[in-house]
Structures are given as structure tokens and as C-alpha cells.
Structure 1
Amino acid sequence: MTDLADSPALPAADRPGSGPLRRLRWLRRLRRLRAALGAAAPALLAYAGVRLLGLLVLALWAGAAGRSAHQLLSARWDSLWYTRVAEGWYGYSVRLPDGGVHSDLAFFPLLPALERGLAEVSPLAPRDAGLLVSALSSLAAAWALFLIGRALYGRRAGVLLAVLWAALPVGVVQSMAYSESLFTALAAWSLWAALTRRWVWAGALAACAGLTRPVGAAVVAAVWCAALLPLWREWRQRAREPARERPVRPGGRMALGLLLAPLGWLGYVAWVGARRGSVTGYLDVQGEWGNGFDGGWAFLRFIGRNLTGSVAGGLGLIAGVALVLWLYALCVRQRQPPALLVYAGAVVVLALCAKGYFGSKPRLLLPAFPLLLPAAAALARARTARAWWLLGLLAAASAVYGAWWLHGSGPP
């Protein structure tokens, strides 16, 4: 059969891939995008409202304290390190009074690369570019959360999931020049692509997540689980039916997605290793910062010290850990897709079982959005007035806590 694209009798303007047909395809895509944005608009507007409330309270608090809300959001703690990388790329380190060294190699490159790129093509300074990246990324994350929540438990649950994520006690980090918003957006869209079997997109987004934070390995594991678990189940099913001898294998797009997924994380870790001249180069850098994975032993000792010092503080830590584990158990009972369970479980394990500054653990748990799905599903079944009153109280509490937090110890 003759391919129409190769037929000499077909006018060039009407061949597939020609100008009019290409424009038609783009128009269709724009219509689909507009329809998708329209469907997600309630979630995005509600999310933006919660975050704007947080920024307003922060601005008022900072004004009363004689401080700059802009500086609190863009020029403290890790945001300073990202800015330094953006301005001069890698090579900066700080020698501590005790002889230790903190190197900027601990920070993954995607956020500072975006900051640098935006600063070069716009009047924005790198730290302001970081704020813009976080703002856009947080909206993109809210959109993906809406899609996942809607697919699993209905449209209302999708909206509520986005709002709950915005109203977390440490939700103010979503508005800082930090990498949490960018990572969560990439992770959530990668998971959505995997759940909808768009394997190349899932792998490419997982690779980008792997260039954003060390926990990008959790996204890789989730994508691989989403692809390989059904294949394994099908293989077992066919093993019980000898008559069906066709081999079980991933399709070409699935295989490409699986190959792409780990490239970002592995690529950066390998680059740091080559730069440091050691296979364990990145682990060595993290060790110099006092970070590392010890199975949670250091965290347990930290809780124990709090119990012997400030009993209320120790009990609060135990209650927080118990809440996280209970939420994950609810996710399992809720029979969430295995990819979401693998992703959330990996984020929780890496956050709770790592050494380092323990005050940052709530921030490290911020990308574990599947933990909020049980609450979103429950609120979706509640009366509308009751659900939104509760969300309003949570948003107000998050705004006040976020302002207090940034004026105190904050997220290092």
C-alpha cells in the first residue's frame, strides 16, 4: 500500500506533516491544554490562595520585626549555596573552625542551572530566578497532585490534595528559593506519566528529578516499579498457562523510559565521584556535611536526648514519627498504586533514617505527597462547609507557623 506522505499525486500542502496539518495538530493540542487547565483551575487557584496567605503573613511578620521577607525567602541557608553555584558553578567550599569542609558539590545542579539560565536571559538576579522557579514549580506540582488525586478518588479529592500540600506546616518552603518545589513537580509528573503508561515522559522526568535532589532515586524506583511489576505479574500468569508461550518483555518506549530514569541521579553522582577521584565521592561530600544513611540510629539518639532533656520535645518527635508511619500505613490500606507506595516509602525512609541536622526532616518529607491522599479522600467525603473550614484553619496555622519558623531556626 502506498504511503500518502510519499504519493506524488497528493499536493504538498495536504500531506501529513505539512503546514496546515501541522497547525491543526497544534491547535488541537492547545485546545486540550486549555481544557486540562480549566479542569485543574480550582485546584491551582485554591493552592495559590493558601500560599499567598502564607506570604502575606510572612511579609507582615517581617515588617513588624524589621526584617526582609524577600531575604528570608531567597537568601538564607541552602538558597545561598544554590545562588553561589548559579553564579560561579561548582568549586566553592567553606572550611569550618573545627577543620571540617562544606562543599557545594552536595547540591544537585538542576535548580542552580535554571537560576543561572533565567538570570542570563532576564533582568532577574539568580536568587530571584530561584523564587520564580519555585513559584512556577509549586503550581506545576499542585496540578500533578490534582490529576493523581482525581484519578484515584475523584475530582474533589484532587483539589483537596493540592490544598493539603500547600497547607503543610512547612509549606512555606514551597515559596523559597529551595529545590523542594521543583523536585516535587518533577516527581509528581513523572509518577503521573508512569501511572498513565507514558514511559518516555516518566523516564525523562525521573532523570530530571534525579538532577534536583538526592532523593531522586525514589522517583527512579517508583518508575521502575510501575513498569516492571505488571510485567512480572503477567509473567507469573503466563507461567501458569503453558499454552501461552509468547515471551513477556517491555515495549520499546517502556525500555527507553526505564533506561532514561536513572541517568540524572547516576550522572551527577558519577561526576562528583570523578571530580573527587573516588567512587564514593558524593558520599564523602555528604559525610563532610555530617549527612549520611545510618538506618535512623542518629535520629533515635536525638529523640532520646530530647526525652532526657525536654520531655515535651521528645514526645513531640515521637508523635511526629508515629503520625508519618500511620499515614503510610493508611496509604497501604488504601491500596494506592505500588508506584506511589514505593515513592512515598523511599522518601520517608531516606528522610527519617539519615544523619544530619534533624530540624530539616519535616522539609525533607515535603515531597512525600502520597501521605496526604488518605486525608484528601476522607475530606472529599465530608460535608463541603466542614471540609473547607478545616482547610481554612490549616492554611492559617501553616501561614503563622511558616512565618515564625523563618524568623527562627528555619529550614537549613
Structure 2
Amino acid sequence: MRRLRAVAPALLGFAAVRLLCVMVLALWDPAEDKGVVRLLSGRWDSVWYASIADEGYGRTVVADDGGVHSDLAFFPLLPWLERLISAVSPLSAGEAGLLVSAVASLAAAWALFAIGERLYGRRAGVLLAVLWAAVPVGIVQSMAYTEALFTALAAWSLYAVLTGRWLTAGLLSAATGLCRPAGLAVAAAVAAAALAVLLAERAERRAAEPAAERTAERTAGGAAGPWPWAAHRRMLAGVLLAPLGWAGYVLWVGARTGEPLGYLRVQGDWGNGFDGGWAFARFIGDRLAGGNPVAGLGLCAGVALLLWVCVRCVRMGLPLPLLVYGGVMVVLALCAAGYFGSKPRLLLPAFPLLLPAAVALAGARARVVAVVLVTAATGAALYGAVWLTGSGPP
């Protein structure tokens, strides 16, 4: 009960921002025949997840440009949950997806509070959760998409790493791998943290050895002693578990398509892939050289700001698992080929990038904090309404 009282301000603040965004969306255009529920659960990727929940895998659509789009591009955890909920309730699969996202977003906010509190104090934890609700593309947290579910699993996995609960970290990481391809970022964070522990313990043992023994060891060309595998069975088990969800689904797609790299081919058919950022650079260059240089300069400024925040995270000494997770998420977002409009959404789960702002606000006056949060929440609500009644997230 004490823990619930501690996290209550973070959850209430988070819920208030999300409610504001949904209310503004519902009131944005009363004549809009799409309706807020349809906007949140019945368009774009939400339709594919609901189709998998209702019919299973096997749907293929031929696009106007001749591209073949298969539902094998979508990972199975959200459809599984939608199917389970719709089977025991009157909710449709899409509506069940909204319920999953609502619960998962609160779980994510709790995890962000726990991480922020552990590292920088209770006020920073509350602000981290509220800032995550108020990012411009935060409306996706309220959609039948995987961002909220993925962030909840990823954040709790990272919190488990920070608190030494390795099996929990590995299991939650495996679940993220069943949710999105970016589950690899969580697995990488778990592995990096474990390796850091082993290296630190090895260095401590060497420092504790008598100088004569170290000299004899170097003369003999020996190793620094055995790795302490036996003392870290749970940690190593967590590391092995971490990538299993992602690997299991990719292997299943390979078996279903009859191609070992079938998942990559499926993603390629959607126009997705990893090209080191070349497509994104061309996208920006086309705007700079074409008829919209202002947009090109804005994109350059946005990328520069993002990279500055990454450097700030390193300089403020964020724990290694948070740095690895956030860094891999940024690389995956910026260096992936595909529809540009997806990139802000792909960055949504990269919550460690908000820690510099949360820590700065934690030391600011209450009036400054209030102005920043109200401005951010209002901007997110307006942006979300314009976005979803327009092009929307792909």
C-alpha cells in the first residue's frame, strides 16, 4: 500500500495527460465520421493486429504499387492478448487492444517512475512518467498499437536489471521480443549489463591478488583467472532467456515461409529494412534540395537535438543498460529504411532520452515545472488530434 501511495502522483499525472489527449481527439472534429474509437483501434497497424487476433496469421494484401504485404511482419504478443480478452469479454479484438494499451501504459508509467526514483529521486520519477505521456506522438500510447505494451515490458525488464533480478529481466526481455523487433534492444541491454558485472568482478579479483602473483601470471602468460560462472547462474540464465522471444518468432516465420531469412524478406516487401540511415539521409536531402528546405532544416535540427540528448545521457552517467537500450533504439529508428512518418513513433519507447529533462525539471521551481508540463501536454493533445485525423501513424 505504501508503494502504491508513492507512485500515485506519477500514475495520476500520466493518466491526466493521456485523458486530455483522448478528449481533445474526440472533440477535434464533431463531424468526423471516423469516431475516436475507430481512430484509435480501427486504422493502420491496428487492423492487422485485430485480423491476426481474429483469423490467425495468413493475411496478405497486394498494395497499389504491387508490393506484397504479409501479416507475418507483425509480432504475435498483442494479437494473442487481444484474442484472449475478446474470447472472455464482449469486446472486439480492436477494443481489446485499446484495453491492453490502457493497462500497459499505466504499467509503463509505473516502471518509469520506479527507474527515475531509484536513480534520481521521487520527483524525477514522477516527472519522467508524466513527460513520457506528453511527448508529441504520445497519442500512440492510447492506440491499439504495441508501443505501450513494449515500453512496459522493456522498462520493467531494465528495472529488474538495475535491481539484480536477472531471471525476471530475461523473461520480460523475451516477452518484448514477442512484441516488436526492437526487443533486441532490451536483450542487448541485459547482455551488456551482465558482461559489465563479470568484467568488474574480474577486475576486483585481480586488484586483490598479491603483486607477486600478478607478476608471475604475466610472466607465464596466464589468464586472469576463471570467470565466475557458477556464482552467476541466474544472471547467465537471464542473458540466455532475453533474446528467445525475438529469435523464436523469426525462426517460426522462417519455417513458415520456407526461407531461413524469411522474416527479412517479409519486412523488405513492406519497404522496411536496415540500411544504416541512407534512406533517411536521402529523405532529408530531397527536402533540402527540393521545394521544402524549411522541412529539411527542421529535420536536421531534430536529429541534432536527438544526438545532443544522447550525449547528455552519457555525460550524466546513466547506468549502462539504459544507455545501451536507448542507444540501440535510436540507431534502429534513424538507420532503418521505411516510411519516415514511423520514426517518431519508433522512438516513443526510448524513455531514457527523457531522463535529462526529468532531472532538470526535478530541480526547478514548481511554477516552471507546471508551465513546462501544461505546455507539453497541450502540444501533445493538439498534435495527436491533427495527426490522427490526418495522415496518422503507419
TM-score by length of 1: 0.90
Q: In 2, are the aligned partners of 1:96 and 1:102 still within 8 Å (CA)? A: yes
Residue identity opposite 2:370 in structure 1:
W
Q: Which residue of 2 aligns with 1:89?
A: 56
- Distance in 2 between the 1:317 and 1:408 partners? 20
1:317 partnered with 2:299: yes
Quick one: distance in 1 between partners of 2:148 and 2:119?
Answer: 22
- Give the structure 2 partner of residue 4 of structure 1: none
Out of 165-174 and 301-310, give the one that drifted further: 301-310
Q: Confirm or deny that 1:162 pairs with 2:144.
A: no
Tell me the equivalent position of 1:248. Answer: 228
Matches within 5 A, 1:145-160: 145-160=112-127
What does residue range 367-382 of structure 1 map to in structure 2 within 5 Å? 367-382=349-364
User: Which is further off, 180-189 or 270-279?
Assistant: 270-279
1:39-50 matches, within 5 Å, as 39-50=6-17
Look up the SS of the partner of 2:38 in the other structure: helix
1:268 aligns with 2:249: yes
Given the alignment of the two structures, is residue 108 of structure 1 paired with residue 75 of structure 2, yes or no?
yes
Partners of 1:62 and 1:68 within 8 A in 2? no
SS in 1 for 2:296: helix
2:332 counterpart letter in structure 1: L
Q: Does 1:361 align with 2:365?
A: no
Structure 1 residue 255 displacement after superposition = 2.1
Deviations 1:160-206 (A, max 9, x none): 00010000000000000000000000000000001000011100000
Alignment of 1:305 onto 2:283: no
Secondary structure, aligned partner of 1:38? helix
- 2:177 matched to 1:210? yes
- The SS at the match of 1:63 is coil
Query: 1:170 & 1:247 partners in 2: Cα distance?
Result: 45
1:239 aligns with 2:206: yes
2:188 matched to which residue of 1?
221
> Would you say 1:396 and 2:378 are equivalent positions?
yes
**Contact 2:198 2:227 (8 Å CA) reproduced:** no
CA distances 1:97-122 after superposition (whole Å, capped 9, x unpaired): 33320000000000000000000011
The percent identity for this pair of structures is 63
Matched with 1:197 is: 164
Q: Structure 2 CA distance, aligned partners of 1:410 and 1:378?
A: 32
Instruction: Give 1:253 deviation, angstroms.
Output: 1.6
Question: Post-superposition shift, 1:247?
Answer: 4.5
Matched, 1:257 2:238: yes
2:124–2:359 CA contact under 8 A, matched in 1: yes
Partners of 1:408 and 1:307 lie apart in 2 by 24
CA displacement at 1:64 relative to structure 2: 4.4
Q: Tell me whether 1:74 sits opposite 2:32 in the alignment.
A: no
Task: State the distance in 2 between where 1:203 and 1:57 align.
Answer: 39
How many Å apart are 1:260 and its aligned residue? 1.2
Q: Secondary structure at the match of 2:43?
A: coil
**Residue 37 of structure 1, CA deviation:** 1.5
**After superposition, where does 1:15-30 map in structure 2 within 5 Å?**
none
Alpha-carbon deviations, 1:282-327, whole Å to 9, x = none? 1000000000000000000000011122011101111111111111
CA deviations on 1:222-241 (whole Å, 9 max, x unpaired) are: 01112221111221332344
Give the Cα separation in 1 of the matches to 2:185 and 2:29: 36
Which amino acid counterpart does residue 282 of structure 1 have in structure 2?
Y
Counterpart pick for 2:19 among 52, 56, 68 = 52
Cα deviation code 1:44-86 (max 9, x no counterpart):
0000000000011001014244441111000010000000000
Q: Whole-Å Cα distance in 2 between the matches of residues 394 and 322 of structure 1?
A: 20
1:296 to 2:277 alignment:
yes
What is the alpha-carbon distance in structure 2 between the residues aligned to residue 392 and residue 200 of structure 1?
39
Structure-1 separation of matches of 2:320 and 2:288: 36
**Secondary structure of 2:61's partner?**
strand
Name the CA distance, whole Å, in 1 between partners of 2:21 and 2:63. 35
CA distance in 2, matches of 1:240, 1:172: 52
Corresponding position: 1:131 with 2:98: yes
After superposition, what is the alpha-carbon deviation per residue over 1:316-375, rounded to whole angstroms, capped at 9, x for unaligned?
111111111111111000100000000000000000000000011000000000000000
Distance 1:237 1:291 in 2: 45
The number of equivalent residue pairs is 379
State the SS of the aligned residue for 1:122: coil
CA distance in 2, matches of 1:226, 1:39: 28
Residue from 324, 328, 336 that aligns with 2:310:
328
Task: Give ranges in structure 1 of 5+ residues lacking alignment.
Answer: 1-33
Q: Secondary structure of 1:102's partner?
A: strand
Which of residues 259, 262, 272 in structure 2 aligns to 1:278? 259
Partner of 1:27: none
Question: Which secondary structure state, in structure 2, belongs to the residue aligned with residue 234 of structure 1?
Answer: helix
